[in-house]
Amino acid sequence: MGRVAVITLVAALAASLAGCSRERADGLPIRLVGDPGIKRDAPFVTWGGVVVLDGVSRPVLSSAAPMMPATELVPQPEGGRKIRAQIPPSFGALPWLAFETVTGKGDVMHMLRSWPVTGKVAGTYYEVWLREDRIKADETPGVRLWPIPDLASRDVETGDLAVPPHAALQFGVALEPITWDTTAVPVDMAVSAVAKDGATTTLKTIRLNPRDEAHQTWVDAIVPLDGLAGRTVRFRFTARPSMGPTAVPTLPLWADPTIVDATTLPPSS
């Protein structure tokens, strides 16, 4: 075979492979954060927001919706001050909440202390000591309340999605820092595929232990979807404690789950 023929053959093969690559990537990526099939009626959460963790901003399926109630500073006879705030009555529907004292200047806030509180105190006034030694003269103390729903109510399921060939699901998981100290047992973050007949297949489970510094940031994963190619499924994202009831004081995060063209991923992935 002459040199010209070899070059022509190589060029034709390259064009063929490029065509296959374009065919495989058709319709991808699919970012699930904006999937219109997700039912977004669960209270106490923000849908499709952005969370900053370890200096990295990521869009998430859902996240906690903290609020700052009106507060009163109460001087104490023995010195020092307490800060007083009412827990909203609506928080009575929650098993837990995180009560956080903060200090801030403008839009910048820093945590002073935080601890879990049972939802049974909803509607009452909660009063705690301030850490005066950590409040600067130009800062204002306040309270931030983090609603913590039962983990089962935080499940997210997409609408029906047709899985193309040579696809993969990439995502990140984390726990909100406000609950690192209150998460007593590790949390299993699982993504599953749900078929039209309801059959469920677990694709990946990541166990997060916030006591491990490696888990105090985004933990990323890539799941090949070759076994689902050509099928229509829903993707379900769940978080469960490794043991015990689902009503635990923790707040899971699913960062930017996206169906991508696996042929474009680095070989190490």
Tens-place pLDDT, residues 59-116: 999 999 999 999 999 999 999 999 999 999 999 999 999 999 999 988 889 999 999 9
Q: Mean pLDDT of all residues in the chain?
A: 90
Mean pLDDT of 24-53: 91
pLDDT of 53 reads 95
- C-alpha 45/C-alpha 176 separation (Å) is 13
Q: How confident is the model at residue 267 (pLDDT cuts 50, 70, 90)?
A: confident
Is 17 a residue whose pLDDT tops 70?
no
Residue span(s) of the chain under CATH 2.60.120.200 come to 27-62+152-262
More confident residue, 105 or 238: 238
CATH topology of domain 64-149: Immunoglobulin-like (2.60.40)
Least confident segment among 15-24, 56-65, 202-211: 15-24
201 and 223 in contact (C-beta within 8 Å)?
no
- C-alpha 177/C-alpha 211 separation (Å) is 11
- C-alpha 174/C-alpha 50 separation (Å) is 13
Residue span(s) of the chain under CATH 2.60.40 come to 64-149
Mean pLDDT of 21-29: 61
pLDDT of 23 reads 40
Is 139 a residue whose pLDDT tops 90?
yes
Is 9 a residue whose pLDDT tops 60?
no
- C-alpha 17/C-alpha 19 separation (Å) is 5
Is 14 a residue whose pLDDT tops 50?
no
pLDDT of 3 reads 35
More confident residue, 20 or 258: 258
So what CATH class is 27-62+152-262? mainly beta
Task: Find residue 128's DSSP bridge partners.
Answer: 83
Cα→Cα distances 84→100, 101, 142, Å = 12, 10, 9
Q: What is the pTM of this model?
A: 0.86
pLDDT of 84 reads 97
Is 164 a residue whose pLDDT tops 90?
yes
